[in-house]
Structure 1
Amino acid sequence: MPDFTSSLFWISVLQIIAIDIMLGGDNAVVIALACRKLPPEQRNRGIFWGVVGAIGLRIALIYFALRLLELPYLKIFGALLLLWIGIKLLVPEDEQHDAIDGGTTLLNAIKTIIVADAVMSLDNVIAVAGASHGSLILVTFGILVSIPIVVWGSKLVLTLMDRFPLVITLGGALLGWIAGGMMLTDPAMPKSLSESMPHANYVFSAIGAVLVVVIGKWKARQRQPPSPHDISAASNENR
């Protein structure tokens, strides 16, 4: 049973909420697209039951992820995958939601929300499993708190992310931090490593955060289109 008076418990809850906000921004878009063909009087019911089903399925997926992460080497694999997810978060991409078709019936809309959320939530499941330190109660509490923020506050969050790029950078760093700590706790890692290195958990976590930010920023600069000045300079050199 988690200690609700512990600062570590609430830090983990805040991490889970931050993960859900950073990685769950598309959930509101999925819900809107899935329910757009429903009659107005059924849309609220579609949203409610779709979100309930998505929450239940996500908690079940995280439960199995927590059990799997107890096996040797899987935390290392999960940590590497989480580092990649954090880097990907910092690299701008064109989002496509055209494949999400709105249902014409309440049941179809609910099914669409649940299936789409499950497909899109692999990164979320791994990140939350890493931040929860094996506690399903912590996972459930964090998700229940964060889902309303994601669904009804996603527009505000996305606006903040567009206006303040530092928010995205901090989110990527958080994923790297969790990945570094997850890797150190893998059963295959030698215990002498954590015992011989002072504050090993913080060191590994910090290395993970720095790796995500440095590599992510580098890849983001590569993806940026050349400025008019650069195009003009290149044209002059070719003459």
Structure 2
Amino acid sequence: MEFLATIDWAVIAQIIMIDILLGGDNAVVIALACRNLHPNQRRRGIMWGTAGAIILRIALVAFAVTLLQIPFLKFTGGILLLWIGYKLMVQSEDDEGHELEASDKLWAAVKTIIVADIAMSVDNVIAIAGAAGQVDAAHHQFGYIVFGLLVSIPLIVGGSQIVLYLIDRFPWIVTLGAGLLGWIAGGMIFSDPGLIKHFGAGIENYATIAGIAAAVGVMLYGEVMKRQKKKTKQA
């Protein structure tokens, strides 16, 4: 009750805005991971995946400063995102056929959402922790973080539903989604503290170029491999 009585809505608004601006890519990942689920399971996949991602993000916020200083963490996260973008792109609707039970496919989608969210959440987590740091009482900061993230859940879920709706009608959006992950990955890799320490701060100037190259690379390579898989199945 004390928290609700003294809540600073300006800080809450900042946290929600950060999560919306930096979490738009999360909605894309959620949609891509759930697109091959049965329509009756999509909502469950989105809800469980989002819930797991939010819980882990809350835990990561507590270690935001430490995370920022770990060399090659963002580099590793970027490589992981490239792989996820490729896998999500080449995965066709009938890849798993009937070999897996529906529940297995559901939990596979949930795991993909959580892993991708962890990889993308470093900057997001640090930004949210910085906004909450405006609160004087240290024991209230965590409450602000949790409250702000919980409020943003419906926005992320809603965004995922919209992307899924569009993917069903325009399948080429999957390629753009994979490209988005490549763009994020390239920027993460070239802003990694470990690389900056070894190559100097100037390496960050190439983050945009790296993002473009990674986005184009994921889309082209994914498209080539997807067509190759189709030819193999038809042979």
Q: In which range does the TM-score fall when normalised by the shorter chain? A: 0.5 to 0.7
What letter corresponds to residue 219 of structure 2 in structure 1?
V
Specify which of 155, 163, 186 is matched with residue 169 of structure 2: 163
Shift of 1:206: 1.3
1:12-161 equivalences under 5 Å are 13-17=20-24, 19-25=25-31, 26=34, 29=41, 32=44, 54=52, 56-63=54-61, 66=64, 67-68=66-67, 70-93=69-92, 94=95, 98-99=102-103, 117=110, 120-130=113-123, 132=124, 134-137=126-129, 144-145=151-152, 147-149=153-155, 151=157, 154-161=160-167
Aligned to 2:183: 177
CA distance 1:16–1:194, shift in 2 (3 Å):
farther
- Partner residue, 2:210: 204
1:106 match: none
Write the letter of the residue equivalent to 1:14.
L
TM-score normalised according to structure 2 size = 0.61
CA distance in 2, matches of 1:22, 1:62: 21
**Rounded Cα–Cα distance in structure 2 between residues aligned with 1:91 and 1:221:** 9
* Distance (Å, rounded) in 1 between the aligned partners of 2:101 and 2:63: 27
TM-score by length of 1: 0.60
Output the CA distance in 1 between the equivalents of 2:191 and 2:50: 32
Does the C-alpha gap of structure 1 residues 143 and 226 become closer, same or farther in structure 2, counting only changes over 3 Å? farther
Q: Flag as ranges the 4+ runs of structure 1 deviating above 6 A.
A: 9-12
Query: Is the radius of gyration larger for structure 1 or structure 2?
Result: 1
What is the aligned-residue identity percentage? 27
| Residue identity matched to 1:214 | L
Structure 1 vs Structure 2 CA RMSD: 4.4
- SS of residue matched to 2:225: helix
Gaps in structure 2 of 5+ consecutive residues: 1-9, 132-144
**Quick check: which one's helix share is greater?**
2
Deviations 1:81-113 (A, max 9, x none): 11111111211244656236xxxxxxxxxxxx9
Q: Kindly tell me the number of residue pairs found equivalent between the two proteins.
A: 196
Stretches of structure 1 lacking an aligned partner (at least 5 in a row): 34-46, 101-112, 232-239
**1:150–1:222 distance in 2 versus 1, CA, 3 Å:** farther
Is the Cα–Cα contact under 8 Å of residues 79 and 180 in structure 1 kept in the other structure? yes
* Residues 207-226 of structure 1: CA deviation (Å, up to 9, x unaligned): 22122112211221122256
- Provide closer, same or farther for how the CA distance between residues 201 and 62 of structure 1 changes in structure 2, counting only shifts above 3 A: same
Q: 1:99 to 1:148 in 2, by over 3 A?
A: same
Distance 1:20 1:218, change over 3 A: same
Partners of 2:196 and 2:203 within 8 A in 1: no
Cα distance, 1:157 vs. partner? 2.7
User: 1:24 aligns to what SS in structure 2?
Assistant: helix
